[in-house]
Structure formats: C-alpha cells, structure tokens
Structure 1
Amino acid sequence: MERGPCPICLDGYAPGDEIVRMPCAHTAHWRCGAKWLSGARTCPTCRFEISS
C-alpha cells in the first residue's frame, strides 16, 4: 500500500486502488496519473521529466 495521498487529487490510497508509478518512483492513482500525463510530461511531485 502506498503512503500519503495522491499528489494530484490529494485523496488517500485505498486497498485495491490502481496506481501508476512514475520513472522517478512517485505514485498516483492510475486515473489521476493518466489525466495528468495527458497534459504534462513531468512528475506531479518532483517535476522529473517523463518521456513519451
């Protein structure tokens, strides 16, 4: 289980939630991460540049 809230929606992680792990190892809910990455190419936590 991931610790802390999703950095995009700020909701906590619940058992069974689908998560995405960025190349920098930060995580987000899968849906939040997909929406974020459709408009940005950086990690929402540390701004690590993510290639397409």
Structure 2
Amino acid sequence: MKDLLGKRIYTNFINKNDKLYVPLTELNNGIYLLSLTKSNNEIIYRTKLIKQN
C-alpha cells in the first residue's frame, strides 16, 4: 500500500488462501492506493482506500 506521494507504507506477503489484514487504525486520515500483485509483479487487484475518522 502506498500514499498518494508514492511512498510505500505497508507491505505484506500472503498465500493464495490467506486473508489480508491491513492495520488501518495505524494510518493517518487520507487516501491510500492498495495493489495486490503476484510473485511476478503482475497486478491482480488495485483500489483506493479513504481513511477518515
């Protein structure tokens, strides 16, 4: 996951059957870009997350 400036703020590696947990409570309010990629860097999912209190 990256912020809008492109800074990587969260990385996690999961297996096919694992669930992804992103600790949003630790993030400041803002817009974040989330990408899920395969081991060959092929993007399989991309979305924007908006964090606000």
Global fold match (TM > 0.5): no
Q: Which protein is richer in strand relative to its size?
A: 2
Relative contact order higher in (CA < 8 Å, ≥ 6 apart): 2
- TM-score normalised by structure 1 residue count: 0.30
Structure whose CA Rg is larger: 2
